[in-house]
Structure 1
Amino acid sequence: MQKRQMLWAAGFILTAVFLVPLLMVISQQISKGSGEAQYGINGEKLMPLSFEWQDVTANLQTFPANRPQFTYLFAGFLSCSEICPIRIQQLHQLESTILKGSDFNNIDIAFMFITIDPENDTLAIRQQVIDERSPRFKSAMLEESELLSLSRHLSENIQSYSPSNNHVGNLYLINPNGFVARIYTARQLSTDKMLAELKHYIESSKGNNND
């Protein structure tokens, strides 16, 4: 009886030693094969974004654009000393990495900053700080009703035209159809992981267009 128990124990240990790593490898392969983005928060259950905005030339634009375009978007104010400078730098790093590689050639990618302090973020300041970075960078001003509607939509807790200028400062990846693909809430973000997710959504959109 004792010998049989020892054999059972040995068999169990050997099974654990060999089976668990095998299951881990299989799980990793399934995850890779599925191509699912895992870094940001999935925002696809939110209703798609749709709003009008004013650019730095005081012209009225619509979002999403009338062409296939992926957009990284965040709302804030340019005198912010906390999350906003971090987000602007992250967008700059994203664009720099995009320009260095070939994975995103011929892909329309935009970076949009929405001001929640239009009285101080004037057209000239927005032009200098945001739009002059590159043609991909856009700074937007929304009518207060549109801005507060967007805040409720994204749970950004924006208090426009208030002394505190409260906001959450999340970064959003928006699909060409206006749906929120990913929500990035952390202050420090991995450019490589974000672009891996962007590549996933680009490939998915190409597949849908071919169907």
Structure 2
Amino acid sequence: MYRLSSTALATCLIVATLLIFPGIAYLNQAMSGSYGIATHQETSIDFTWQDIHGRNHQFSDWRQGPSYLFLGFLNCSQICPIRTHQVQTLWQQLNEQEQSQLRFMFITIDPQNDLPALREQMIDSQSAQFVSAELPRGQLAKLQRQLAEKSSFNDDLGEHSGHLYLISKEGKLSQTYTQRQLDSNKLLTDLKTLMHSK
């Protein structure tokens, strides 16, 4: 009898958690007036990354404005092309000055197959503000922990959450976009709010 009660209680707690947490995330969005999930993370996002020419950079060296981060792989036929298209659509809605203040960074989780020539063709050729990056394994693991990004690439099978992250000019995680389909007008509102804050 006691074991049954414990099992029933555990089941109720699990169900309640599954129902309550999405509700809290939705309320957080609604109260903050933002489209993405607003975060109040104080940890700075910073890492060393390598461009398609093999040069190393520091993420924090970019000071012109916000950055969008996306972790994926170019052989992905699901969320990766959708996310890239969403950012391109947003990009087209910006004026020239705003475009110069925004960076989109695609971070490969499959550097063995996402070779520099392919990355250049798919990402870097879009604009000077579109960059693809390869991170050392330790740096990638640290970034995944900071973003709570679940992604891995093992045995030719890539898995990742497909979230889009908006990072402030100061290097703080501002918004996380988890929906598969994103409204570019709402993305634009969040972006302009961040660009004109402070």
Q: What range describes the TM-score normalised by the shorter chain of this pair?
A: 0.7 to 0.9
**TM-score with structure 2 length normalisation?**
0.79
SS in 1 for 2:151: coil
Which residue does the alignment assign to 1:70?
66
Equivalent AA in structure 1 for residue 132 of structure 2? S
SS in 1 for 2:107: strand
Which residue does the alignment assign to 1:147?
140
SS in 2 for 1:166: strand
Paired with 1:141 and 1:95, the residues of 2 have a C-alpha distance of: 23
Quick one: structure 1 residues 137 and 66, their matched pair in 2 at CA, closer, same or farther if it must change by over 3 Å?
closer
Which segment drifts farther, 41-50 or 89-98? 41-50
Which structure 1 residue ranges, 5 or more long, are not aligned? 1-34
Equivalent AA in structure 2 for residue 98 of structure 1? L
Q: Which one of the candidate residues 105, 111, 116 is aligned to 1:118?
A: 111
1:134-154 CA-to-partner distances (Å, cap 9, x unmatched) read 111000000111111111111
Quick one: structure 1 residues 180 and 162, their matched pair in 2 at CA, closer, same or farther if it must change by over 3 Å?
farther
SS in 2 for 1:64: helix
Which residue does the alignment assign to 1:50?
46
Which residue does the alignment assign to 1:200?
193
Quick one: structure 1 residues 143 and 160, their matched pair in 2 at CA, closer, same or farther if it must change by over 3 Å?
farther
Which residue does the alignment assign to 1:17?
none
Q: Which one of the candidate residues 38, 41, 61 is aligned to 2:37?
A: 41
Structure index of larger Rg: 1
SS in 2 for 1:135: coil
Which segment drifts farther, 45-54 or 110-119? 45-54
SS in 2 for 1:98: coil
Which residue does the alignment assign to 1:93?
89
What are the equivalent positions in structure 2 for 1:119-138 lying under 5 Å apart?
119-138=112-131
Structure 1 residue 46, shift from structure 2 partner: 5.4
Which residue does the alignment assign to 1:158?
151
Which structure 2 residue ranges, 5 or more long, are not aligned? 1-30
Paired with 1:42 and 1:106, the residues of 2 have a C-alpha distance of: 23
Structure 1 residue 164, shift from structure 2 partner: 2.0
Quick one: structure 1 residues 166 and 118, their matched pair in 2 at CA, closer, same or farther if it must change by over 3 Å?
same
Which residue does the alignment assign to 1:13?
none
Structure 1 residue 44, shift from structure 2 partner: 2.6
SS in 1 for 2:57: strand
Paired with 1:184 and 1:68, the residues of 2 have a C-alpha distance of: 22
**Residues 1:83 and 2:76 aligned together:** no
Paired with 1:165 and 1:106, the residues of 2 have a C-alpha distance of: 31
Structure 1 residue 161, shift from structure 2 partner: 5.0
**TM-score with structure 1 length normalisation?**
0.74
Aligned residues: 168
1:2-29 CA-to-partner distances (Å, cap 9, x unmatched) read xxxxxxxxxxxxxxxxxxxxxxxxxxxx
Paired with 1:152 and 1:37, the residues of 2 have a C-alpha distance of: 27
1:113–1:140 contact (8 Å) kept in structure 2: yes
SS in 2 for 1:149: helix
Quick one: structure 1 residues 178 and 162, their matched pair in 2 at CA, closer, same or farther if it must change by over 3 Å?
farther
